[in-house]
Amino acid sequence: MEPVLAACRAALAKPGHVIALTGAGVSAESGIPTFRGKEGYWTIGAREFHPQELATHTAFEAMPWAVWAWYLYRRSVCRHAQPNPGHLALARLAAALPDRFALVTQNVDGLHRRAGSPDAQTYPIHGDISQMRCAADCVPDRWPIPDAVPDLGKGDAVDAAIQAQLVCPRCGGMARPHVLWFDESYDEPRFHLDTVRRLAGRAALVVSAGTSAQTNLPWQVVQLAARAGATIVDVNLEANPFGDIAAGSGGVIRGPAGAALTAIADALISR
């Protein structure tokens, strides 16, 4: 791990931003199933669905309450989870580097915020599972899912009393989870597209952690940053495309994100 920490310290001596790019693996140690792991599957009726089928506008149009049930179950898991050392390390980095640290996260679980990462330095590019917005887009606003909406277990249905809570406060139509679906596109107002691209283009260091590198904006972050001369480091239990890029740059840590991010934060803060 030491050569990677040395590369991180060297990158900090260059001008530019330090970007942490996090994925589901960072929350795995908090007990939240990853997206593409075995626990990600979900059964509706007699069929098993992969998240990539359910996290779509098409699925929501066809079976909105079944999709809501999946999100409300996952919201319950997230609410009961606690931030782990990886989240806490990134919150410490944000505090130590107030002018040059940005956290770009694909995670919708809110654990970075609960660990103390400030909103001003955090870019949740796939949304927030605790929020909802108008399904018909009558206004771009988003709202917390009401506290009166209870935790849902696997197999629990969204009954009429819950359905009555999941409405747009403006137009009274159906609300939807505030998450980016596979058949939708990134934008700036909701998902920070332009801001994140701009930050990546002037990065000195990108630490990707716990992501399988399957989505578009994270790819842009790594590529724009690499083109700008940034050092790329990857933390993951397994090989992944960002690891291949990092291997030719700052290096790879093949281990759990909690310990690795703690070591990286310590190295950057005590430099």
Which residues are tagged catalytic?
Answer: 126
Nearest to 55 by CA among 122, 106, 20, 105: 106
CB of 235 to ligand OAD, least distance (A): 6
Least distance in angstroms from the C-beta of 265 to ligand OAD? 15
Q: Among residues 101 and 242, whose Cβ is nearest to ligand OAD?
A: 242
Distance in Å, CB of 259 to ligand OAD, minimum: 9
Of residues 143 and 182, the one with the C-beta less far from ligand OAD: 182
Q: Note the residues at the interface with ligand OAD (CB under 6 A).
A: 23-25, 28-29, 34-37, 51, 55, 106, 126, 179-180, 210-212, 214-215, 235-238, 240, 256-257
Which of 87, 92 has the CB closer to ligand OAD?
87
Min dist. Cβ of residue 1 to ligand OAD (A) = 13
| Least distance CB 155 / ligand OAD (angstroms) | 22
Of 235 and 267, the one with the shorter C-beta distance to ligand OAD is 235
Position 117, amino acid: S
User: How many C-alpha atoms does 190 have within 13 Å on its Cβ side?
Assistant: 23
Q: By C-beta, is 29 or 128 nearer to ligand OAD? A: 29
